[in-house]
Chains A and B, each alone.
Chain A
């Protein structure tokens, strides 16, 4: 049975420990719908390690290997090797980590796994700070965001471009997604699953976080869509080196179609300290990102 083109089966169990309105668990719900039952998740220290709930119950309907913060890529390599040794070919191994566990702490294990062409999918759900430990700044935190470690002025550096770092590893598939467009997310995970046997596939999901971004929990989908509509988050996929803008982001290549970034920033408490100059800086950064994207499309 399918509803709106998505499978009816649920692999995220109700009554887990996610905060109300969590973008990460919504993303995981659609990711697991796309991957199906024959999946092994490798999860480092991150929100999802907590979301699983308390022993003897687990809030996630597939096997999960909980691992140390920096070791997602290495542990997933081990699981892939173990499955290969036992002759099990139909199981998808997925590393599921937050932005801290991907862009900061886990980058060497991930880079190593990608370089060894480990046959697994790595998904980073990016809530733009260490939310689980109390909202500390990470490499993926955007410019101007107030966190508990950048308390007054906010962060003064821009977000690390993790998908492009992974694209530089020349892996078969890199994609960005966000739970506001579940069908787009679902299709991308399906595509990554189909490429089994070709090497590492990387998907980066921008996942809104109500307590960390300081907004009302009902606005999660709105935040996710606004991030795309303002051009702050660009949905694309790089399939065997071929760059392609995804459906929802296509029309925003034209700068006049993009909403001003204020619309996204003013709804979030973490951006309350921004001055007009900071907003200009963020707008400049967005426009420059899009210029780079336009160049990449031209050269193809």
Chain B
């Protein structure tokens, strides 16, 4: 009984969701093709960062783009839009 009330206290008064990564779980598992960046070919233009719908690509001018494979859904937009063709879609399974 006591444990029940402590659980109830933890629930917010309204059903309020808080912003967090992975609201739908680890969406990287949806992927069949995985984007792999060849940093030797990469010109660090930032277009993959610009067009990633999921914001899974982080970009710095020094290190170039980095993909978060936990959440990347493998849509292939980055590979299609890369002007240097530095991103290849590789079959995962």
Contact = CB atoms under 8 A, between A and B. Distances in A.
Contact of B54 (A14, A53, A62): A14
B38 interface: no
Given A220-B77, A222-B80, A57 B53 contact: no
Contacts, number: 118
Nearest to B81: A221
Which secondary structure dominates chain B's binding surface? loop
A220 B15 CA distance: 34
A219 B25 CA distance: 25
Given A15-B70, A218-B79, A57 B46 contact: no
A19 B79 CA distance: 17
Give the residue among A15, A16, A55, A182 with the most B Cβ atoms within 10 A.
Answer: A15
Interface residues of A, number: 39
Give the residue among A18, A25, A182 with the most B Cβ atoms within 10 A.
Answer: A18
Contact of B77 (A17, A59, A217): A217
B69 to A, nearest CB: 11
Contact of A58 (B20, B61, B70, B80): B20
B50 A14 contact: no
A288 to B, nearest CB: 32
Give the residue among A23, A54, A219, A221 with the most B Cβ atoms within 10 A.
Answer: A221
B20 A13 contact: yes
Interface of B: 15-27, 30-31, 46, 49-56, 59, 61, 68, 70-71, 73-77, 79-81, 89
